[in-house]
Amino acid sequence: MTVEEIFAALEEMFGAKREMQDKWGVTAVVPATYLHNAVQYLKDEAGIKFEMLVDIAGVDYLTYPNHEGPRFAVSYAFKSLSAPGSRIRLKVLVSEDSLKVPTVSDLYANANWYEREVFDQFGIVFTGHPDLRRLLNHVEFVGHPLRKDYPAQKRQWLSTNDYLLPELEKRLEELGYKVVQRSKEVETNDNEFLEGSIKE
């Protein structure tokens, strides 16, 4: 099965359309409702299997010359390990009225953090994501800094630390460790240390 045949299959099964503006000719635009199925097809069923998710990137077309259609897009780049040199990209168009795209984190583990980054930077929500929180900006950050209308010189105050202990404890338990509850005295000492470090 060639890449061209895969594009034809994507169009027939999922309503995907070849993106003519892509000068490399490797992008298919797929409706959000079929995204998960299309990604699963590329990973498990296509004649060339795309075992690697290389990246997920958000796009804001707000200032893009002559752009018509939804303001946002999410782009998924895939690479085949079994057929070296084979690459394909899926793109989902996302309107400002419905900033939702289904997660693919159940298909590719690295999609978890890629989707969190796009959510953080663009405000696109990945439905079904197991832990959709900010990744690069702090917990009190307001807005999405990679949107074209975000004021680049805006400064935001951080008054608290993002509490990561539950996430770390969950990972340790998944690896087979037993997490022992910390005493209030230890927590108080840790907080005092953190506050002292911030002041210094």
* 68: phi then psi, degrees, rounded to nearest 5: -125, 135
What lies within 8 Å, CB to CB, of 46 at 6+ separation is 1, 6, 9
Domain spans of the chain? Answer: 3-162, 163-200
Q: How far is CA 19 from CA 16, 70, 93, 100, 101, in A?
A: 9, 14, 12, 21, 19
Q: Can you spell out the DSSP letters for 60-87?
A: E-TT-TT--S-SEEEEEEEE-SSSTT-E
pLDDT range class, residue 165, cuts 50, 70, 90: confident
Fold (CATH) for 3-162 = Beta Polymerase; domain 2 (3.30.460)
Beta strands 17-18; 27-29: pairing state: antiparallel
d(C-alpha 10, C-alpha 90), whole Å: 10
DSSP assignment letter at 2: -
Q: Which of 41, 72, 45 is nearest to 56 (CA)?
A: 72
Q: Could you report the per-residue pLDDT of 68-113, keeping only the tens digit for each?
A: 999 999 999 999 999 988 999 999 999 999 999 999 999 999 999 9
Q: Could you report the per-residue pLDDT of 125-147, keeping only the tens digit for each?
A: 999 999 999 888 888 888 899 99
- Tell me what pLDDT residue 3 has: 84
- Tell me what pLDDT residue 49 has: 94
